[in-house]
Amino acid sequence: MTLASITLGPLQFDQPVWLALVVVCGALVVWIGRQSLSGMGTTARRAALGVRLAVILLIAAALARPSWRREAENVNVTVILDKSESVPKDLQRTAESWLREASRRYRAGDLISRIAVAREALVQNLPASPADEADTVQLAGTDGTNLAEAGRLGMATKPADTANRLLFVSDFNETIGDVRSFADTAAAAGVPIDVVILPYNHENEVIVDRVVVPSTARMGQNVNLRVLITSLKPTTGRLTLLINGEPVDLDADGPGLSRRVALDEGLNALWVPISLPRAGPQTFRAVFEPDDPAADSIKENNESLAVTFVQSEGRVLIIAPDTSEAEPIDRALTESRIACEVITPAQAPQSLIELQAWDAVIMVNTPSDQIAMRLQEELKAYVHDLGGGLMMVGGPDSFGAGGWLGSPLADALPIRLDPPQKRQMPRGALVLVMHSCEMPQGNYWAKQTGLAAINNLSRLDLIGVVEYNFSRDATWVHPITEVGNRTAVTRAMNSLTFGDAPSFDTMLRLAYNGLVAADAGAKHMIVMSDGDPSFTDFNLLNQCRAAKISISTVLVYPHERSATGPSGQQMKMIADRTGGKFYPIVDQGQFAQLPSIFVKEAQIVKRSLIWEGPPFSPTMVNAVAEPVRGLGGSVPPIQGYVVAADRDGLSVVTLRGKENDPILAHWQHGLGKVVAFTSDAGQRWARSWPSWGRYRAFWDGHVRWMMRPGGNADMRVVTEDLGDKTRVVVEALDASGERMNFVRFFPRVVRPDGTAEAVEMRQVGPGRYEGVFDSARAGAYVANLKYVAPPETPGGQPREGNLQVAVTRPFADEFRTLRDNAPLGRLIAERTGGRVIDLSQSPGQVDLWLRDGLKMPVAVRPIWLLVALLAVALFLVDVAVRRVRIDPQLIAAAVRRAMGRGVSRGSEQTGTLLEARRRARAGMAAGASTAEQREALRTAARADEQTAKAKFEVSASELAAAKENLALPTFDDAPRAAPAQRRQAEAAADAGEGGLARLRKAKERAREDMKDGDGKR
């Protein structure tokens, strides 16, 4: 049974129905009290009744779930400031200074919190006094506006003990999220949203809306490219077109490459005929530059992108630092009519779209430090997400010996690059000496580079990390131990404190001592520092040389910004004298090289992964596997390979070497296929292979197995722009034009930053499939749709293929806005009961902390326990009132006594007793209300007195005899030896003096008390 809670002043009762007990029980108590309390005096009876009623009231109150309410008085304003690119910069500054002024008008206790918003929202400061200075924050992406997220962040960080207002300062051109639905949330929570609309209107603007090209074309085809440009006013300018970053000559007659164009007001379509000589995806970029810069307000929207896939036969890209090493493979593939191109790592494709032009990539004896980290990531996505083929061919700079351990591609390979655990191999020991680097994000880079080196070591290698710590000087963050599963050393790297070491001496000495004691073949030290610490322990360098410990030094961002300054000279000297290398990184542009330097350096301890010896023929262990079918079950001898380990049955190993090491293996990785061959292409370790009769079959079999399957002309893919998202629609038709149903798609979309996302494709109609992916960021999105269709005839082969489509978003929607979106601002203010504040209003007149319409929050604290305890305490009082007589005069006397007034202690006690007795008698007389009662009492008292006399009264002679018999000494007795004195004492006793007299008096008092007692009864 519940009722709505009721509030009485600061008290709130959640189950007020229990309060009815007060009436019911109160009446009962009064009724019972009339009977049971009739023996008490009027005042006492009233007091007793009052106390009992109070007990009942408290018990009922405790049952009614009482709480104590405290209402807040302060207001917090959460200011959400739009920092996106759509708001002109000077307008942002005006708004900020307006806000600073306006936020001076607060009342004591008011709070302000600030959130900066663009693509993402960041808390600038949590609720704090407006008098405090605000922190500045840097937003990562300003090419978007997500007001709803900022609002949600504001709601999440608002304090609970104040009333709250939100203040949006924005142009309300949101590109992500839906601030309207957020406004409903805020309205439901009772938080009004005030808005300050930042007003602007671009009157001169040119936007390159779109570049329109067919999504697929055939090699050599001529296509008409269309550039759509919107201009608010007639203007002139130049149009430039780039294909894959290279400009196209649009001005055949003139000296320049760009074409002069005159734009009319509104939408302009410009046609450019283009021939497509190359296969693969082609990226077109159209850029418009107005002649008059004033004719255009936003520069970012002056270019647009489009991608066309140009189809060809299968093509293979071969990457080799020494192209002559790849020559036998190139020859074998060309003989097999597979088009291939051999390039060096420096010429490698720079983007995933360029990689898409190839159906497989072969890397021949390529060390990982020559392939940029980004390209490694993209190669992984190319295989896993876009279904491309990859083959890694060995050599002394490949696999584990080439620094691929721990690289992004290591996971894609069908072998593990760590040596097998059971193998006994010489191992290397590496110590990283890490010093604070005074560069932007220095500590981040230092950790990244350290981890890159560590990931590159095999599990059996030894690793140690030394740094300077303010409380311990040079110290082992990670003592030299086996790399193992890298957990411990990775944790150690993440716990580096990057102390500012004053000197290299102690750190290098510590590292040296550790390395000398380490049980390892190659021993190496990498020192990373800004070169600031001093170095004087030159003897250490000689000791390192003697112990064959090399030291490589990485000078990072030295103060003198030069490799030849004092810091550089010192670090170079350390490297030179110990046989290490010196790497100067003097400007920010070189930071990205750091991980590859460390990876390369880690190789110094990694040479042990190569097996070289007398020629032997590897054993073919899986001759029926598809790529090696037709090789005749055996291969020519080899003289070396890079040691690696099995994937424990997850991949198919077809050739094995010494101690069962895998030499040739393949597997499917995501959508793509990968082959690893740990011996080389025929220059060094497999010299007899190029002349082997089945050499061509070997390469042909592997490359054809791993190449991406070709596209299907019967599938049509289109994309639709849904704002921040893109819909992919596939119309699937078979060779006879019939719609294909139940096709399974494995679509992956690679985003502009190289990361991939799976997309769900659902059949929505006969032969029609749809999927949606997020495409909010500017750049190109490549979707690869591998598919498996049911066989054409029952029992036949399933039909497989690949579809590709690209979507481009040349610039963020942020740059499409030409004026503020004031109606949206007004709408959310209206929905939440907020205000629309005009920026032209004087900030001094605006009260950001306006109380009107705000519901102040109430803090409610349950107090039932307290009330219940009070009831218990009062219940004791209730008992006491009925059982114990409280005498105000007596209390007053006690108080007087406590105050130390009047008589001495002894006489005071006596006096109090006498007084008490007198009052008791008077009270007894008063208590006996009628004359009959009083008479009856007196009679009873007399009767008792007679009885007491009979019991206690003795004659003086009887007493003396008794005393004689017992020979009890009295206090004033003299010793027994003096009979004369004793007689004298007896005489005194007879005369009524001494002990006997006192005894008699005591007896009388006892009688009096008994009378009192009767009176009370």
Partner 1 sequence: MARSAPAAALCLALWGCGGAPEGEPIAVRQVFGGLGDVPGRFGYPRALDVSAAAAGAGRSSGLVWVVDKTGRVQGLNPADGRCEVLWRMPEIDIGKPVGITIGPGPDEHGDWCDELVWIPDTHYFRVMVYRPPASDRSDPDHAPTLVRSFGSYGTGPGQFRYTTDVAVLYAPDGRSIERIYVSEYGGNDRVSVFDPSYQFLFSFGRFGAGRADTPGTREVEFDRPQAISIENVEGRRELVVVDSHNHRVGRFTLDGELIAWYGSRDEPGDALGRFRYPQGIASMGDGTVLIAEYGNNRVQHLDLATGRGLAAWGRPGRGPGELAAPWAVGILGRTAYVLDTGNSRLLAFNAPRPRR
Which residues in this chain contact partner 1 in the complex, by CB under 8 A?
133, 135, 438, 470-473, 499-500, 502-503, 534, 536, 559-561, 566-567, 569-570
What is the closest distance, in whole angstroms, from the C-beta atom of residue 540 to partner 1 in the complex? 12
Cβ distance to partner 1 smaller for residue 133 or 648: 133
DSSP 739: B
State how far the Cα of 61 lies from the Cα of 22, in Å rounded to an integer.
9
- Please state the φ and ψ torsions of residue 578, each to the nearest 5 degrees: -115, 5
Cβ distance to partner 1 smaller for residue 438 or 757: 438
Helices 179-188 + 147-157 axis angle, to 10: 20
Cβ distance to partner 1 smaller for residue 130 or 314: 130
Is-contact 917 1008, C-beta < 8 A? yes
Tokens of residue 1005, six digits: 């008092």
Cβ distance to partner 1 smaller for residue 537 or 774: 537
Q: Where are the alpha helices (DSSP H) in 737-843?
A: 822-832
Reported in sequence order, the residue ranges of 678-752 that DSSP labels E, i.e. its strands, are 715-722, 725-732, 744-750
Cβ distance to partner 1 smaller for residue 35 or 536: 536
What is the closest distance, in whole angstroms, from the C-beta atom of residue 356 to partner 1 in the complex? 41
Cβ distance to partner 1 smaller for residue 361 or 434: 434
Tokens of residue 545, six digits: 């040389």
What is the closest distance, in whole angstroms, from the C-beta atom of residue 138 to partner 1 in the complex? 12
Cβ distance to partner 1 smaller for residue 111 or 818: 111
Q: Where are the alpha helices (DSSP H) in 119-268?
A: 147-157, 179-188
Bridge partners of 809? 779
DSSP 417: S
CB atoms closer than 10 angstroms to residue 260:
13
Cβ distance to partner 1 smaller for residue 12 or 570: 570
Cβ distance to partner 1 smaller for residue 271 or 470: 470
Is-contact 394 675, C-beta < 8 A? no
Helices 323-335 + 695-706 axis angle, to 10: 90
Is-contact 792 734, C-beta < 8 A? yes
Cβ distance to partner 1 smaller for residue 215 or 534: 534
Is-contact 508 537, C-beta < 8 A? yes
Query: Residue type for 677, please?
Result: F
Cβ distance to partner 1 smaller for residue 137 or 997: 137
Cβ distance to partner 1 smaller for residue 132 or 958: 132
What is the closest distance, in whole angstroms, from the C-beta atom of residue 496 to partner 1 in the complex? 14
What is the closest distance, in whole angstroms, from the C-beta atom of residue 345 to partner 1 in the complex? 33
Q: How buried is residue 271: exposed, middle or buried, by Cβ count under 10 Å (0-12/13-18/19+)?
A: exposed
- In order of 76, 137, 156, the CA distances from 117 in angstroms are 19, 10, 15
What is the closest distance, in whole angstroms, from the C-beta atom of residue 74 to partner 1 in the complex? 24
Cβ distance to partner 1 smaller for residue 170 or 567: 567
Q: Where are the alpha helices (DSSP H) in 594-694?
A: 594-602
State how far the Cα of 943 lies from the Cα of 935, in Å rounded to an integer.
12
What is the closest distance, in whole angstroms, from the C-beta atom of residue 103 to partner 1 in the complex? 16
What is the closest distance, in whole angstroms, from the C-beta atom of residue 119 to partner 1 in the complex? 24
State how far the Cα of 690 lies from the Cα of 696, in Å rounded to an integer.
8
What is the closest distance, in whole angstroms, from the C-beta atom of residue 434 to partner 1 in the complex? 16
- In order of 45, 393, 617, 703, the CA distances from 684 in angstroms are 117, 12, 15, 22
Of 933, 1012, 878, 929, nearest in space to 39 by CA: 929
Tokens of residue 461, six digits: 């290698």
The vertex-117 CA angle with 112 and 120, nearest 5°, equals 130
Tally the residues of the chain: 1017
Is-contact 944 1015, C-beta < 8 A? no
Dihedral (CA of 432, 438, 440, 443) sign: positive
Cβ distance to partner 1 smaller for residue 461 or 532: 532
What is the closest distance, in whole angstroms, from the C-beta atom of residue 448 to partner 1 in the complex? 22
- In order of 6, 8, 22, 169, 538, the CA distances from 59 in angstroms are 17, 17, 9, 54, 87
- Reported as type and span, the H/E element at residue 524 is strand 523-529
Q: How many Å separate Cα 589 from the centre of its chain?
A: 29
State how far the Cα of 11 lies from the Cα of 720, in Å rounded to an integer.
61
What is the closest distance, in whole angstroms, from the C-beta atom of residue 242 to partner 1 in the complex? 35
What is the closest distance, in whole angstroms, from the C-beta atom of residue 129 to partner 1 in the complex? 14
What is the closest distance, in whole angstroms, from the C-beta atom of residue 975 to partner 1 in the complex? 55
What is the closest distance, in whole angstroms, from the C-beta atom of residue 471 to partner 1 in the complex? 3
- Reported as type and span, the H/E element at residue 77 is strand 75-82
State how far the Cα of 797 lies from the Cα of 531, in Å rounded to an integer.
66
Query: Residue type for 506, please?
Result: T
Tokens of residue 320, six digits: 């080799």
- Please state the φ and ψ torsions of residue 845, each to the nearest 5 degrees: -95, -5
- In order of 79, 229, 284, 289, 759, the CA distances from 224 in angstroms are 51, 16, 12, 22, 31
What is the closest distance, in whole angstroms, from the C-beta atom of residue 503 to partner 1 in the complex? 5
What is the closest distance, in whole angstroms, from the C-beta atom of residue 217 to partner 1 in the complex? 50
What is the closest distance, in whole angstroms, from the C-beta atom of residue 122 to partner 1 in the complex? 16
Cβ distance to partner 1 smaller for residue 133 or 246: 133
Cβ distance to partner 1 smaller for residue 564 or 984: 564
Cβ distance to partner 1 smaller for residue 135 or 953: 135
- Reported as type and span, the H/E element at residue 303 is strand 303-311
What is the closest distance, in whole angstroms, from the C-beta atom of residue 436 to partner 1 in the complex? 10
Cβ distance to partner 1 smaller for residue 177 or 568: 568
